[in-house]
Chain A
Amino acid sequence: MAVRPVAADAGPKPVFKRPSLRERIKSSRTAWLYIAPAALIMLFVTLFPYIYQLFMAFTDYRVRNLRFNLLNPETWARYAPPFVGLDNFVRILTNQLTIENYDFWRLLLFNITWTVANIVFHVALGVLIALVLNSKTVLLRRVYRALFVLPWAMPGYVAALTWRNMYDDRFGAINQLFGVINRLIGTSFPTDTRWFVISEPPIGGLLSFLPLAFYAVLLANIWLGWPFMSVVATGALQSIPKELYEAASIDGASGWQQLRKVTLPLIRPAMVPAIMLGTIWTFNQFSVIYFISQGNPFGRTEILITQAYKLVAEQRLYGVAAAFSIVVFFILLSFTLINNRVTRATEAYDV
């Protein structure tokens, strides 16, 4: 398996001779002792379920099979799920699931669009605002900095439920805000938009696969996500030595040139891993989609992870859901591998 790039140990090679296996086992003992408590709990509660999930992915696991107990041979014959080979995977990829509005490739396309759009806005807004607040002459910058982390500090779960209510068509704050704007400046925006019902795309052409609900959840997730990028960018900005700017301005670099040639290259090492982490988080951003749009209209704002959850919670197709998670994992893995090639990002984690 081509996993070498994610292998974390990219440290300097030891100069001394490789010790014998016996010595290595001996010196490993302390390390294993330290790992044992975490390893024990993870073996049982993380690794075992993952392996079990792998097994489930190749079976037609349903509600009745929940009684199947590996440790209890009496249950084997009666409740063992039937082995179906790659059938679950084939059904997932060729859209043969009995779920309404299911289309794997549309889900994938939407999931990627959702992730890219979010990350672009998070990073652009985050860096822009960090830059603005980095200038010492700006008044009240401490106040702004404190206020701007609020969306990040608020529990994401509570924020998602709040946004869901803000988009309520009659009692939500968004439609009422349009009402206030209409009264103030005499415009006539609709004030009864049903954000998650309208299926007519607001922007046609290439973007016509995105319903209005997409922009609504995007806005909510931008609200939630940009402060994190901004804080990371702020930290990186503060670590840039002032001398570099002085040197640049002596050489006659304009503000714009300083930004492009000094600032952006120097915050890049901090931003790249943040973007990578942000991408994985956003790709799997469950609560915003699940609690706000619920995949509406017609499953067109569903992402892979919410679909996987619905397979478990609503359809109770455990085998299919397990296969689904594995598909999602391979998508993320290939993303990480490609990203690693491009940026060598994970290597930065190891000394």
Chain B
Amino acid sequence: MSKKLKGVLRQIAIQLFLLLVTAMVLFPILWVVSLALDPRDIDKPLELRLIPPGASLQSFRKVLFEPFNLLCRDPSNPATCMKFGGLLRNSLLVALGTSLLAVVLGSTAAYAFSRFRFIGRQAGMLFFIVMIMLPTTGLLAPLYVLLSQIRIGSEPLRASLFGLVVAYSSGFLPFAIWNLKGYFDTVPKELEEAALIDGASVTGTFVKIILPLSVPALAVTVLNSFMTGWTEFILAWTFLDNPSRFTLAMALRSMQGQFATPWSEFAAMSILMSLPIVILFFLLQRYIVSGLTIGGVKG
């Protein structure tokens, strides 16, 4: 067998394998897309079709502009029901707030752990590793109690979006600090030493040298904390009472009916919720591997 023929056969085998993997990867995604495009808003999708007959964007229109009749202050009055815009606003507030807190607090703390030898450093690092391993479900009750007792104005912190932001970011911080510290460790100390000799302050070197050189790790922190705020469901569902504070993740869950799922709308909503994350992911993709400390090969 000639070398060229062997190469072609090899290529064909590899392509077949990759196509199979592609099919498996895309199957759930295409299914959701085809459901979302189905104009019949069928409550019983009984066949698999990529493009359903008469495909339209109707279910997107419905999700985007019509009220969610399960998320209402007064179920008999549709005017009190949440619409996509309000849910989106809440989700964005929570997700952006969480990632802002995680990045600012995470990077300053990680910097101290990476660059200073101080009393309590070892205990601190140990604490973070322990936190990463401790399951958070047990915290539901103590957090509920705690955040209920702190009041902003007339209502407890628990029932506010800010309460959620605080809970999410503090839950996310141990991982963020640990990961950022690991990354800061890889930035050569000589750069800072040179700057310090030139008269820069500690804060100056942190902001002007460490942070710009750590964009990958910061990107990972932003992406993951944003995602936490965007998709978290359990705490939000337990803590929030007022439907006007509800988030997209809660709306998606509420569409998963016990008896009847509005398939097309569920699918459209899934796509709308995934799109920003997927776009953010692809924008930040080149940082993602290098930004997770585990991606950096240290041997």
What total of chain A residues lie within 8 Å of the partner, measured CB to CB?
Answer: 110
Please report which residues of chain A, range 124-170, place their CB below 8 angstroms from some CB of chain B when the two chains form the complex: 129, 132-133, 135, 137-140, 144, 146-159, 161-166, 168, 170
User: Most chain-B CB neighbours within 10 Å: which of A45, A129, A325, A336?
Assistant: A45
Bound-state Cα–Cα, A8 to B131, Å: 14
Of the candidates A69, A158, A280, the one whose C-beta lies within 8 Å of that of B273 is A158
Contact A157 B231 (CB under 8 A): yes
Contact B118 A28 (CB under 8 A): yes
Contact A239 B297 (CB under 8 A): yes
Contact B108 A34 (CB under 8 A): yes
Of the candidates B26, B28, B138, the one whose C-beta lies within 8 Å of that of A326 is B138
Contact B133 A333 (CB under 8 A): yes
Knowing A9-B125, A270-B297, the reply to whether A231 touches B173 (Cβ < 8 A) is: no
Contact A8 B125 (CB under 8 A): yes
Contact B186 A351 (CB under 8 A): yes
A76 within 8 A of B: no
What total of chain B residues lie within 8 Å of the partner, measured CB to CB?
Answer: 109
Contact B116 A231 (CB under 8 A): no
Smallest Cβ-Cβ distance to A348: which chain B residue: B298
Smallest Cβ-Cβ distance to A322: which chain B residue: B138
Smallest Cβ-Cβ distance to A234: which chain B residue: B289
Knowing A3-B126, A349-B185, the reply to whether A318 touches B141 (Cβ < 8 A) is: yes
Knowing A41-B101, A150-B25, A309-B137, the reply to whether A165 touches B266 (Cβ < 8 A) is: yes
Contact B129 A37 (CB under 8 A): no
Q: Which of B10-18, B53-61, B75-83 contacts A (4 or more CB under 8 A)?
A: B10-18
Of the candidates A33, A144, A149, A171, the one whose C-beta lies within 8 Å of that of B18 is A144
Knowing A35-B112, A176-B48, the reply to whether A158 touches B25 (Cβ < 8 A) is: no
A185 within 8 A of B: no
Interface membership of chain B positions 219-233, coded 1 if the CB is closer than 8 angstroms to chain A and 0 otherwise: 000000001001111
A110 within 8 A of B: no
- Taking the nearest CB of chain A, how far is it from the CB of B74, in angstroms? 26
B65 within 8 A of A: no
Report B-chain residues with C-beta under 8 Å of the C-beta of A39.
109
Offer 8 A-B interface pairs, CB within 8 angstroms, sorted by A. Answer: A33-B112, A152-B281, A154-B274, A157-B233, A161-B252, A165-B261, A286-B137, A351-B186
The 9 closest A-B pairs by CB, nearest first: A325-B138, A8-B125, A28-B118, A31-B116, A38-B109, A34-B112, A153-B281, A49-B142, A45-B170
